[in-house]
Amino acid sequence: MSDRHVYEYALLRVVPRVERGERINAGVVVYCRAHAYVAARTHLDAARLAALDPAADVTGVRAALAAVEHLCQGGAAAGQAAGDDAGRRFRWLVAPRSSVVQPGPVHTGLTTDPAAEVDRLLDLLVK
């Protein structure tokens, strides 16, 4: 029997000017139901963001990305979502929204180690 489990992930995209449709990848959120695991890793390339919008609020974008990471961690850092299970927090994070930090579509894969998958996807798709 395989010890691989299905996981879901979505990229976090920074869209500084929604009307232009330009975006950069700035993070990834991974959820694995079998492990009750949800985590996010982020990396903002401020120079790339400035190329899209020199007036972009880098501090605000970093704060929004950090909030996603905190929500995934649960506990007091998650605020009102602290009592929600991992799946509910993931679904809330990947719900479509019109803001500067937006989730991309949800994709799936198989993994034996969801925590390692978060880092692998960040390196592959964001950095």
Stated pTM of the model = 0.91
Provide the pLDDT for residue 69: 93
DSSP 57-83: -HHHHHHHHHHHHHHHH-GGGGGGGGG
Q: What digits encode the pLDDT tens for the residues 10-19?
A: 999 999 988 8
Q: What digits encode the pLDDT tens for the residues 17-68?
A: 888 889 999 999 999 999 999 999 999 999 999 999 999 999 999 999 999 9
Query: Is it the case that residue 1 has pLDDT exceeding 70?
Result: no
- Residues facing residue 111 across a β-bridge: 5
Domain boundaries, the chain: 5-125
Token duo for residue 24: 């950069």
Query: Is it the case that residue 80 has pLDDT exceeding 80?
Result: no
